[in-house]
Structure 1
Amino acid sequence: MTANPATIRKGRKFDQVLEGARDIFLRDGFEGASVDDIARAAGVSKATLYSYFPDKRLLFIEVFQQECDRQTLAALDQIDMDAPVAEVLRQAAGHMVASFLCEFNQAVFRVCVAESDRFPELGAAFYRSGPRRLHDELAAFLARADGQGEVSIPDAALAADQFTELCKADLYLRHLLRIDDNFAPEEIARVIEGAVATFMARYGIGS
């Protein structure tokens, strides 16, 4: 069944359903998660579950949006925005790489691609909650840094996209395609340091 996000209904047990669904989706992924298991984990009946979310895909993207909010807020709380630009980028890159390699986030990406023709709302919701929000936060920071003369960035939006792509080097595609599932800290550090160095070589003052 394909449903429109507008059909989601909130009620007294809405958050309870999301919490149970998150546990099952993280454990079993989208395809492996059964409605019976989700209802059981949430402590609700299947009828209650369907009254809130008539389509499992809607429930999946709602859980992802909440998880994305949690990850973004956690990252912003841990990044020292008053540090030098290179250090802020290094901290941001650490969170971005972790997000790119997160099994749950990649599962959402795969579902959005697979369902893009039949259920385009999934892709739009994924973009707004994940890539777009990340882009906007980074672009705003880079614009401020440019205004303070710390870097020379004529197009902060483009620069934010470029830095994000630098953080995907090597590891992201290997993980997405199931070539490798685990990466040593040294491999992750290599990508992070390479991203920061390349970005600052392009936009750093005096570069």
Structure 2
Amino acid sequence: MIATAQKVRKGRKYDQVLEGARTVFMADGFEGASVDEISKVAAVSKATLYSYFPDKRLLFMEVANAECQRQSREALDTIQMDAPPHEVLKQSGMHFLRFLTSTFAQQVFRICVAESDRFPELGQRFYTSGPAMMQAELIGYFEQAEARGELLITDKRLAADQFMELCKADVWPRLMFGVSKSVSEPEIERVVDGAVETFMARYGV
């Protein structure tokens, strides 16, 4: 098990190790990824890799966490949080669903599910760095929009979860069950437009 005291050490080759690990994990999965291959792709020695990440699970969680944080920062930089609800929800939903349906997110999700019984901390870490971050951002926006008289929401946490689930309609189950291999931009926009319309019908003023 991963000791709670273990910390990720940042240093000169941290990003190099992380990028190499991302490449290998996405190609081979958690179980198939070897430390030898990760160090080779990252162009660092095994000693260097272990000095940053003493446990493979810790490395995997850091890869997933870094990508989710990057996506979150990108969303915050591009979404105008003072815009009307239908605009903010559309932008947030598009960003969320594009990431969720990306190859990276699908593979990380499958790895987390596959490893959840033996290593529950994997899924917990991914949830914290992904869905929970979007939930928090939406709740913050709902409070601002409600103060401006644009939304009326009693349970903002539930409303945030409802919006995210609406954005997953149709396309996410098809991807997870292998019915579809990919999702087009028009399909993403169709689902998000429906999610925004449904959400505003319930909570809009």
Structure 2: runs of 5 or more not aligned: none
Partner AA of 1:20 in structure 2: G
- String of CA shifts for 1:2-38, please: whole Å, max 9, x gaps: 4335334515333321122123334444344332221
Q: Following the alignment from structure 2 to structure 1, what is the Cα–Cα distance between the partners of residues 139 and 67?
A: 22
Task: Tell me which residue corresponds to 1:57.
Answer: 57
Please state whether the residue corresponding to 1:24 is helix, strand or coil. helix
Q: Following the alignment from structure 2 to structure 1, what is the Cα–Cα distance between the partners of residues 116 and 23?
A: 25
Q: Following the alignment from structure 2 to structure 1, what is the Cα–Cα distance between the partners of residues 124 and 34?
A: 24
Instruction: Please report how far the alpha carbon of residue 83 of structure 1 lies from its aligned counterpart in structure 2 after TM superposition.
Output: 1.8
Task: Tell me which residue corresponds to 2:5.
Answer: 6
Paired residues, what number? 204
Task: Tell me which residue corresponds to 2:39.
Answer: 39
Q: Return 125-134 or 45-54, whichever deviates more.
A: 45-54
Partner AA of 2:201 in structure 1: A
Conserved? CA contact 1:5–1:58, under 8 Å: no
Compute the TM-score of the two structures, normalised by the length of structure 1. 0.90
The RMSD of aligned alpha carbons is 1.8
Partner AA of 1:92 in structure 2: S
* 1:153 pairs with 2:153: yes
Identity percentage over the alignment? 56
Please state whether the residue corresponding to 1:4 is helix, strand or coil. coil
Conserved? CA contact 1:16–1:42, under 8 Å: yes
Distance change (3 Å), C-alpha of 1:115 and 1:5? farther
Conserved? CA contact 1:17–1:49, under 8 Å: yes
Task: Tell me which residue corresponds to 2:30.
Answer: 30
Partner AA of 1:10 in structure 2: R
Task: Tell me which residue corresponds to 1:108.
Answer: 108
Task: Tell me which residue corresponds to 1:15.
Answer: 15
Structure 1: runs of 5 or more not aligned: none
* Runs of 4 or more consecutive aligned structure 1 residues displaced over 6 Å after TM superposition: none
Please state whether the residue corresponding to 2:5 is helix, strand or coil. helix
Partner AA of 1:75 in structure 2: A
Q: Following the alignment from structure 1 to structure 2, what is the Cα–Cα distance between the partners of residues 184 and 68?
A: 21
Q: Following the alignment from structure 1 to structure 2, what is the Cα–Cα distance between the partners of residues 173 and 144?
A: 32
Q: Return 63-72 or 118-127, whichever deviates more.
A: 118-127
